[in-house]
Structure 1
């Protein structure tokens, strides 16, 4: 879906991103209060996972999304430290289906190898991204940072 010319892409992105995040949260089993997103110079999202990684059982896992990097599974560290990225989903699509994100999380936790190289999605077109996320807009009951 393409947005009409002149429509504010940031405002149009908000309901679609919220709905997409909600769909991913449902797929990975995260309640709404374990999610957040922000749209500023870049759009980002966060899901706090209840599952643990066997190699770091004392640390929480999180799933992060960025419009330029896609999905990453990471181990949360101290608040002032950067999270340790375990793997990036990659695959060439910054907005993969929620079920694919859930399979990625399960596979990484089970020990499957995924790239640790940060992907770069160079198609930075907010209108196109908002259009791709538009069908998720009905699921947009999430808290905004």
Structure 2
């Protein structure tokens, strides 16, 4: 089914509301999140934890429209983060599924993780359609 291309502002609002729902499920305040729509739609959640193998670095949950959610460890600002795990094949999983992914990965369980390098094929129109339910209760 073809979905019309959404306007960037509507897509950004929908993604922001989705990321807020994920942040609430993971236990992250809104202030620790960012959303950006450019050539790729992306989101970032700073997690309030450290990774046992890298205790001096922050852990983050990152999302993009081609990979979905990934758990990573921040390194130096000029260096790409170290990806610890990628969530499954759904680019817009339910917020509670993302919270389980974070908890499982932190506990050393790798259930439902995707292989490195895998990308999800989606259009901006289908992404907007998937995010539409998160606009329902969003302020205008």
**How does the TM-score come out when normalised to structure 2?**
0.88
Q: Which protein has greater RCO, CA pairs closer than 8 Å, 6+ apart? A: 1
Counterpart residue number, 1:35: 33
Partners of 2:14 and 2:128 lie apart in 1 by 6
Aligned length: 136
Q: Which one of 128, 131, 137 corresponds to residue 129 of structure 2?
A: 131
Partners of 1:45 and 1:8 lie apart in 2 by 18
Q: Deviation at 1:128?
A: 1.3
Q: Is the 8 A contact 2:6 2:124 kept in 1?
A: no
Q: Taking structure 1 as reference, are residues 58 and 116 closer, same or farther at Cα in structure 2, changes over 3 Å only?
A: farther
Q: Deviation at 1:116?
A: 5.0
Q: Deviation at 1:11?
A: 2.7
* Runs of 4+ residues over 6 Å off in structure 1: none
Identify, as 1 or 2, the structure richer in strand.
2
Q: Deviation at 1:12?
A: 2.5
Q: Taking structure 1 as reference, are residues 140 and 132 closer, same or farther at Cα in structure 2, changes over 3 Å only?
A: farther
Q: Deviation at 1:139?
A: 4.2
**Gapped regions of structure 1 (runs ≥ 5):** none
RMSD: 1.9
Partners of 1:37 and 1:11 lie apart in 2 by 12
* 1:68-89: CA deviation from partner (whole Å, max 9, x where unpaired): 0110000000111100000000
**Gapped regions of structure 2 (runs ≥ 5):** none
**1:105 partner SS:** helix
**Which stretch has the larger CA shift, 106-115 or 33-42?**
106-115
* 1:100-122: CA deviation from partner (whole Å, max 9, x where unpaired): 00000011111123445132011
**1:58 partner SS:** strand
Which residues in structure 2 correspond to 1:1-145 (within 5 Å)? 5=4, 8-90=6-88, 92-113=89-110, 114-115=113-114, 117-123=116-122, 125-137=123-135, 138-139=137-138
Q: Deviation at 1:131?
A: 1.3
